[in-house]
Amino acid sequence: MFSGFTHTSSKSLKIIIVGNGKVGHTLTEQLSKEGNNITVIEKDAAVIADLDSQFDIITIKGNGASYNTLKEAGVEDADLIIAVTGSDELNLLCCTIAKQFSKCAAIARVRTPEYSQEVGYLRDKLGLAMIINPELESAREMARILYLPTALQVNTFAHGQAEMIKFKIPEGNLLDQMTIANLGRHITNNILICGIERKGEVYIPSGAFTLEAGDTIYFAAKREEARKFLKHIGVFTKQVRNAMIVGGGLSSYYLANELLHAGIDVHILESSLKRCDELTTLLPDAVVINADASNQEGLMGAGLKDMEAFVPLTGIDEENILLTLFAKKVSKAKVITKINRINFSDVVAELDLGSVIYPKLITAETIIAYARALRASRSSEIETLYHLFDSRAEAIEFRIKEASPVVGKELKELSLKQNLLIAFINRRGKIIIPSGSDKIEVGDSVMIVTTHTGLNEIRDILR
């Protein structure tokens, strides 16, 4: 049973964050929690005052693209700079200037579609560690869910070869009252149930754990095995055929693009006639409708009742929530709700909103994984990191680079921390759901699920 995170300590990083909007604030909170030394550069004095009252960090009022400001922030001996202002150009400039005067790693947020098509070129030419696009990453996560609409969430590992799927066990399902050991004996050994939430408690289960209807579970498997398992237990697995998206912003553009490429019909509702014209040019295969989505008659007239998926992507959380609740009332559509603010996640969890996406957390997870990899030794590095159950558990994929205390021993011989399990081993593209007699080898990637936080390298799984 989950009883709170424990944190694995290691050397702290000196991190400069330029810009403290929604993403910057989330990064400040998460990275300072992990024991890093944070300096925030921000132009808005009110934002700085708010940061000073909340966190034990250094704040500097100024322009992050100014060398003098960066020097004041200590860029010359920083480990990492993260530029997340509202301007793509400013973010790229901040990182470029920082790289001229230090050896720090640099991450820039870039949201514009034109730049996003040139990510590889920009990253290589400017010497950046990473370019992140919250809207694009959120769109990809939403698309994965609509390809498997039964799922509440679909996370990918091992370069897309393995998935971690979240879903709720329905009433009367085959899994109700089945132990995990019996699931392996009578259904399949090709999936592994990694985490369970029941009545607000999170469990990393053993074979003796008995599943119940209403449990929210995460399970790991190869992509094709995941679908076989869901089909076997009577769960619908075909991707949606059409989707209605409300709002015509960047998130909508990226999601529509993903869905259209997968052969899914897309309808976009947008209140601005000018933006409708732009979207019609950008997405000629989509149906773009100039309508006010806050008007119920407009939604019904646009065909909501016949849609298999409904995704409100306005910039207002409350509007997205109300639209989702209305869609669930009048249709059978699979719904995805985008929420920007994470400070009410416990309230949101009590509402029946289908799949909930937090773009800021998706961005933060990518950067936290990179920061932890910087802190680790050379024996392993983090490739992927996801927070599960409202950040009460983590799924971490480690790449094993050289020998360490976990390499070459049967898993049953390892003294693993409590509330931790090894979900799969990826060996040269083959996904292994491990037994006690399997071993971790150099060159593998290994996915761990745990209620411990702050694991930086593979040896941290040991007691």
Q: How far is CA 8 from CA 36, 40, 454, in A?
A: 13, 25, 5
**pLDDT at residue 151, as a whole number:** 93
Of the pLDDT bands very low, low, confident and very high (cuts 50, 70, 90), residue 8 is very low
Residues 94 and 171 in one domain: no
Whether residue 176 is found in the same domain as residue 280: no
Same domain for 20 and 111, yes or no, is yes
Instruction: Tell me which residue of 63, 95, 53 sits closest to 78, measured CA to CA.
Output: 95
Residues 309 and 383 in one domain: no
pLDDT at 380 over 80: no
Within a domain: residue 146? no
pLDDT tens, residue by residue, 167-216: 999 999 999 999 999 998 889 889 999 999 998 899 999 999 999 999 99
145 in a structural domain: no
Q: Is residue 96 in some structural domain?
A: yes
Instruction: Check residue 378 and give its pLDDT.
Output: 65
Decide if pLDDT at 156 tops 50: yes
Q: Domain check: are 427 and 351 in the same one?
A: no
pLDDT digits (tens, 9 = 90+) for 233-288: 998 888 999 999 999 999 999 999 999 999 999 999 999 999 999 999 999 999 99
Same domain, 374 and 433: yes
pLDDT at 247: 96
Final residue belonging to a domain, choices 112, 132, 152: 132
Q: Assess whether pLDDT exceeds 80 at residue 166.
A: yes
Find the domain containing 247 and state its range.
242-357
Domain CATH code at residue 421: 3.30.70.1450
- Would you say residue 139 lies in a domain? no
Percent over 70 (pLDDT), the chain = 96
| 349 and 435 inside one domain | no
Q: What is the pLDDT of residue 88?
A: 93
Residue 78 φ then ψ, to 5°: -75, 155
- pTM summary value: 0.86
Is residue 403 located within the same domain as residue 447? Answer: yes
Instruction: Give the per-residue pLDDT at 115.
Output: 81
Residues 375 and 11: beta-carbon distance below 8 Å: yes
What integer pLDDT is reported at residue 440 of this predicted model?
A: 96
Give residue-wise pLDDT tens across range 411-452: 999 999 999 999 999 999 999 999 899 999 999 999 999 999
What would the mean pLDDT of 292-320 be, rounded to a whole number? Answer: 91
Amino acid at 268: I
- Picking from 357, 383, 415, the residue at the C-terminal end of a domain is 357
Least Cα distance to 2 among 394, 403, 405, 398 occurs for 394
Whether 292 shows a pLDDT value over 90: the answer reads: no
Count: domains in the chain: 4
Question: What pLDDT score does 3 carry?
Answer: 32
Residue 2 forms part of a structural domain = no
Residues 107, 48, single domain; the answer is: yes
Three-state SS annotation for 13-75: CEEEEECCCHHHHHHHHHHHHCCCEEEEEECCHHHHHHHHHHCCCEEEECCCCCHHHHHHCCH
Which of 9-13, 391-395, 426-430 has the least mean pLDDT? 9-13
Asked if the model's pLDDT at residue 10 lies above 60, the reply is no
In a domain, 6, yes or no: no
Residue 34 sits in the same domain as residue 110: yes
Where is average pLDDT lowest: 59-68, 280-289, 381-390, 391-400? 381-390
Q: What is the mean pLDDT of residues 89-111?
A: 94
Last residue of a domain, one of 311, 336, 357: 357
Between CA 463 and CA 459 the distance in angstroms is 9
In a domain, 142, yes or no: no
Residue 157 near residue 254, CB atoms below 8 Å? no
123 shares a domain with 168: no
User: Token pair of 147, please?
Assistant: 């390809």
Same domain, 36 and 128: yes
Q: How confident is the model at residue 377 (pLDDT cuts 50, 70, 90)?
A: low
44-73 mean pLDDT: 95
Q: Are strands 445-450 and 393-400 parallel, antiparallel or unpaired?
A: antiparallel
CATH number at 76 reads 3.40.50.720
Q: Among 74-83, 331-340, 453-462, whose mean pLDDT is lowest?
A: 453-462
Q: Is residue 88 part of a domain?
A: yes
**pLDDT band, very low/low/confident/very high, at 361 (cuts 50, 70, 90):** confident
pLDDT computed for residue 214 by the predictor: 94
Among residues 130, 143, 57, 65, which one has the least CA distance to residue 98? 65
> How large is the average pLDDT for residues 49-68?
94
pLDDT at 27 over 90: yes
- Average model confidence (pLDDT) for the chain? 90
